[in-house]
Amino acid sequence: MIKSYNFCRLVLLGCSAILSNGCVVADRGASQVALVAAASNVPVLVVAQTLKFVDRVRFHLESFSLLGHDLFKVQTFDRSAREVSALIGERQETIPADLVTAVVTELRIVPPSSAPAVLKAKQLAIG
């Protein structure tokens, strides 16, 4: 699979959110693509609107497990309830900031390390 990235010059990914530490929340499998691209020295660009930069995140699965819901329990063949791994229910994952070359917004192209600056500019623009 790494040999196929020799013909690739750029990887463009979409995202659901960009956290204040520069990590990117994207669909499952995007981190594997970014990992292989970074290992092959192919730049990874994430396309996002500035409204997707967030400083606080509440993950859905953690909030359900803290409330004590048995949403992720299944019945096995021996009739005992077991918890399913959280990875089965997850549809999104986090891409580390060091795998992302730059974030393309409607304003400019910024490195992922400048996510706090984008958040600050967004707060100043709002009021």
CB 35 within 8 A of CB 99: yes
pLDDT in tens, 8-48: 899 999 999 999 899 999 999 999 999 999 999 999 999 99
pLDDT at 58: 59
User: How far apart are the C-alpha atoms of 23 and 41, rounded to whole Å?
Assistant: 19
Fold observed for domain 3-56+91-126: Rossmann fold (3.40.50)
Two tokens, residue 57:
């995140």
Residue with tokens 């409330």: 67
Closest CA to 100 of 111, 115, 116: 111
Residue identified by tokens 């992922």 is 112
pLDDT one-digit tens code per residue, 92-112 = 889 999 999 999 999 899 999
Q: What is the pLDDT confidence band of residue 122, given thresholds at 50, 70 and 90?
A: confident
SS3 66: helix
Cα 17 off chain centre by:
7
